[in-house]
Amino acid sequence: MAAAALLDPLEDGRTLYAHQRAGVRWLLARRGAVLADAMGLGKTLTALAAARAMVRLADCRVVVVAPAGLHAHWRQEALALGLALELHSWARLPGHLPPAGCVLLADEAHFAQNLAARRTQAFLKLARHPRLRAAWLLTGTPMTNGRPVQLFPLLAAIGHPLAADQRRFETLYCQGHWREQGGARHWSAQGATRLEELHRLVRPLVLLRSKQQCLDLPPKHRRAHPVELPPAEAHQFQKRIDAAVANYRTRASQGLVRSDAETLAIFTALRQIGSQAKVAAVVGLVADLIAQGEAVVVFTGFVSTARALAAALALEGPDPVVLTGGVPPRQRQSLVDAFQQGRRPALIATFGTGGLGFTLHRARHVVLVERPWTPGEAEQAEDRCHRIGMGASLTSHWLQLGMADQLVDDLLASKSARISEVFTPARARARRELPQRIRQWLERG
Residue pair 349/306 in contact (Cβ under 8 Å)? The answer is: yes
d(C-alpha 6, C-alpha 18), whole Å: 9
Of 70, 368, 41, 20, the C-alpha closest to 217 is 41
d(C-alpha 271, C-alpha 241), whole Å: 10
Residue 316, in any domain of the structure: yes
**pLDDT at residue number 82:** 93
d(C-alpha 17, C-alpha 150), whole Å: 30
Domain boundary among 188, 214, 240: 214
Residue 428, in any domain of the structure: no
| 269 and 296 share one domain | yes
Residue 432, in any domain of the structure: no
| 84 and 190 share one domain | yes
| 194 and 270 share one domain | no
* Overall domain count for the chain: 2
Domain residues for the domain of 197 are 2-7+19-214
**pLDDT at residue number 233:** 87
| 169 and 305 share one domain | no
| 287 and 164 share one domain | no
**pLDDT at residue number 424:** 65
Residue 41, in any domain of the structure: yes
| 253 and 203 share one domain | no
Residue 123, in any domain of the structure: yes
**pLDDT at residue number 423:** 66
| 175 and 317 share one domain | no
* CB neighbourhood size of 223 (10 A): 11
Domain boundary among 168, 196, 214: 214
pLDDT < 70 positions in the chain:
1-4, 355, 357, 388-389, 418, 423-445
User: Which backbone phi and psi does 94 adopt, to 5 degrees?
Assistant: -70, 150
Q: What is the CATH number of the domain that holds 367?
A: 3.40.50.300
Give this prediction's pTM.
0.71
| 253 and 151 share one domain | no
Residue 67, in any domain of the structure: yes
d(C-alpha 71, C-alpha 335), whole Å: 15
| 111 and 199 share one domain | yes
The torsion angle over the Cα atoms of residues 349, 352, 353 and 355, rounded to 10 degrees, is 70
| 114 and 27 share one domain | yes
**SS3 string of 8-54?**
CCCCCCCCCCHHHHHHHHHHHCCCEEEECCCCCCCHHHHHHHHHHHH
Instruction: Specify which residues 48 forms β-bridges with.
Output: none
Q: What is the CATH number of the domain that holds 94?
A: 3.40.50.10810
**pLDDT at residue number 88:** 96
| 150 and 55 share one domain | yes
d(C-alpha 290, C-alpha 4), whole Å: 44
**pLDDT at residue number 444:** 43
| 320 and 374 share one domain | yes
Residue 341, in any domain of the structure: yes
Residue 445, in any domain of the structure: no
Taking only the tens place, the pLDDT of each residue in 267-317 is: 788 888 889 999 999 999 999 999 999 999 999 999 999 999 999 998 877
Domain boundary among 214, 240, 274: 214
